[in-house]
Structure 1
Amino acid sequence: MKVLYKVLAYLIAAEVAVQAMAVVFADAGMGKWVEQGGVLDKAVMESDAPPFPEVVGLMVHGMNGIMVIPVVALLLLVSSFFTKIPGAVKAAGLVLLLVVLQVSLGILGHDIPGLGALHGLNALLLFSAAVYAARRDRAAAVTTPARPDVRVGSAG
């Protein structure tokens, strides 16, 4: 179970990196499209035809953030109950809490654009919490070194 827990925690960190890559890929594609004369307006937003190929980054960002990461975070929390790593449940609970906050900020950011800044900041917190959770077993493995068996007064 320790391996599953660790893999799930690192997977969440990797998914956060994928999220950043996907949204910047889409943003860069949109910037190139606009520089070439594309106009982003309501008609384009409501159109079924993708205006530029990199728009797939927005789709990946949305589906990954709404479906994949929350499921992995729930699996991490469930696995944390069965692993013997000290603090695993607390770390997994923190990851899940940050995921719920991240999804909420992402959804609300469409109505309140200022929340986009918090969405980005929370992504960094989520990444850090996921790496922290994955490394919990290392923290538990660090113990004081055993004292060598030294015999005092035995000169031979």
Structure 2
Amino acid sequence: MIKAYRILAVIIAAEVVIQAMMIVFAVAGLGKYIDDGNVVDKAAMEDEDLSFTGVVGFMVHGINGMMIIPLLGIALLVISFFAKFDGAVKWAGIVLASIVVQVFAGILAHDAPYIGLIHGLNAFILAGSAGFASRQAKAAEVGAPATTVAA
């Protein structure tokens, strides 16, 4: 179970990287679309036929952030109870809590753009927490003493 925990934590950290890549791809594509003389207004945003290079980035970012990553976080927390190493549950809980913050910040940023700053910052917290959880699991796998972090 420790190996499963470690792999899930790595996947969550990698998903954060994918999220960043997808949203930049989408925004860059939207910028080029506008530079090419196209207009984006409320009607265009609601049009299911809106198409530009990178539009898939918005879809991937939304699906990953609203469904895939939360499911991975829940799975990590469940597995943490069976992983049986110091800090497993604590770090899985921190990862899941940062996922919850990320989802709500992403949703709320549509109405309050400054919350997008929290969404961006929290992505680093999520990736760091998941990476740290993975390193803790790796240390437990090889029997090395886990890194301690003052709480």
Question: Identity over aligned residues, as a percent?
Answer: 52
Q: Where does the alignment leave 5 or more consecutive residues of structure 1 unmatched?
A: 144-156
1:139 offset after TM fit, Å?
Answer: 4.3
Matched, 1:69 2:69: yes
1:138 offset after TM fit, Å?
Answer: 4.0
User: CA separation in 2, counterparts of 1:131 and 1:80?
Assistant: 15
Matched, 1:103 2:123: no
After superposition, where does 1:45-124 map in structure 2 within 5 Å? 45-124=45-124
Query: Do the aligned residues in 2 keep the contact of 1:44 with 1:51 (CA within 8 Å)?
Result: no
User: CA separation in 2, counterparts of 1:71 and 1:25?
Assistant: 24
1:60 offset after TM fit, Å?
Answer: 0.4
1:53 offset after TM fit, Å?
Answer: 3.0
Higher relative helix content: 2
Residue range with higher mean Cα deviation, 45-54 or 28-37: 45-54
3-state DSSP of counterpart to 2:10: helix
Greater Rg over alpha carbons, structure = 1
Aligned pair count reads 143
Cα deviation 1:100-146 (Å, max 9, x = unaligned): 00000000001100000110000000000000111113444334xxx
1:19 offset after TM fit, Å?
Answer: 0.3
Q: 1:142 aligned to 138, 141, 144, which one?
A: 144
1:44 matched residue in structure 2: 44
User: CA separation in 1, counterparts of 2:67 and 2:37?
Assistant: 34
3-state DSSP of counterpart to 1:135: helix
User: CA separation in 1, counterparts of 2:15 and 2:45?
Assistant: 26
1:38 offset after TM fit, Å?
Answer: 1.1
1:85 offset after TM fit, Å?
Answer: 1.6
Question: Residue 129 of structure 1 aligns to which amino acid in structure 2?
Answer: S
1:152 matched residue in structure 2: none
Q: Please report the TM-score for the alignment, with normalisation by the length of structure 2.
A: 0.91
User: CA separation in 1, counterparts of 2:61 and 2:68?
Assistant: 10
Question: Residue 52 of structure 1 aligns to which amino acid in structure 2?
Answer: F
1:90 offset after TM fit, Å?
Answer: 0.1
1:12 offset after TM fit, Å?
Answer: 0.3
Residue range with higher mean Cα deviation, 86-95 or 130-139: 130-139
2:28 matched residue in structure 1: 28
User: CA separation in 2, counterparts of 1:67 and 1:74?
Assistant: 11
Query: Do the aligned residues in 1 keep the contact of 2:19 with 2:61 (CA within 8 Å)?
Result: yes
Q: Which runs of 4+ in 1 moved over 2 A?
A: 137-143
